[in-house]
Structure 1
């Protein structure tokens, strides 16, 4: 059950945390921020769906947990990978950058999903 709780926590981060961060002055309210798609809500719904879906077989249980791990962690991994691209930062200069203050949050939620699915599989 701890695994499902961790996966659910990860999903809540995707469903609400990422959206709330995007509503702030560094993203949607910033005229310098280029518009882009945010898939966190879709990934959060998918992670929740596969976390709590009843498997018919042990093999399906492992498969569902693998899907939950992927959908629950890919957003956080992509965010962390942004620092690998030249000129990309986690914080724009106008807001105190360079820096990546959200890195601990991304790591925490990403690990929550991965560890949760591992515990459940």
Structure 2
């Protein structure tokens, strides 16, 4: 189990959580309208995939929040899993542009729906996708740096939840590691410098 300090509110966790909330709520704001889910020109199967995408956003956002804020397990793994889940929705949205016949915005010509500004931009989702990915990346770096500092100041047990070794064992490990290497170790609890 990680220390209680690992659950405190930090800038890194806040940024990743903000991206997670955007992932969970954003698709409903963007798609629960007459241009998407209520679009009369869309066949039911297209609406099914739109609904599936919205539900995927909620699932990934929830998974992110769970991993980022859970108090048990390895803090570094929780962070990696949370950051990966927070990025998935946006990365797959961007990758969808590579599929044949796809477009990031509706072509409004001949439709009764009002697309407004979407008609003028090639990738309107960039206003949300790119800042969300940047928030996840910055949040990950900040939280990883905090965990590294926590690990190095409190020992590996603070990060991994493993019991701290006895003082005698620590001294034996230090002597043994100094015999194997002339340079100090470049990692602390699995987190590289």
Residues matched between the structures, number: 118
For residues 42-57 of structure 1, the aligned pairs below 5 Å read 42-56=59-73
Q: Specify every segment of 5 or more residues in structure 1 that has no aligned partner in the other structure, as ranges.
A: none
Structure 1 range deviating more: 61-70 or 11-20: 11-20
Q: Retained in 2: the 8 A contact 1:51–1:65?
A: yes
**Per chain length, whose mean CA-contact separation is higher, i.e. which structure has more relative contact order (CA < 8 Å, sep 6+)?**
1
Distance in structure 2 (CA, Å) of the matches to 1:5 and 1:65: 12
Distance 1:111 1:55 in 2: 27
1:17 aligns with 2:26: yes
Residue of structure 2 aligned with 1:90, choices 78, 81, 104? 104
Distance 1:87 1:110 in 2: 25
What SS is found at the alignment partner of 1:93? coil
1:41 to 35, 39, 58: 58
Give the match for residue 82 of structure 2. 68
Runs of 4+ in 1 over 2 A off after TM superposition: none
TM-score relative to the length of structure 1: 0.87
List alignment gaps of at least 5 residues for structure 2: 1-9, 109-114, 145-193
Partner of 2:153: none
**What whole-Å deviation, never above 9, does each CA across 1:5-33 have from its counterpart, x for those lacking one?**
10110111012112221202221011333
Provide the rounded CA distance (Å) in 1 between the counterparts of 2:91 and 2:125.
12
RMSD: 1.6
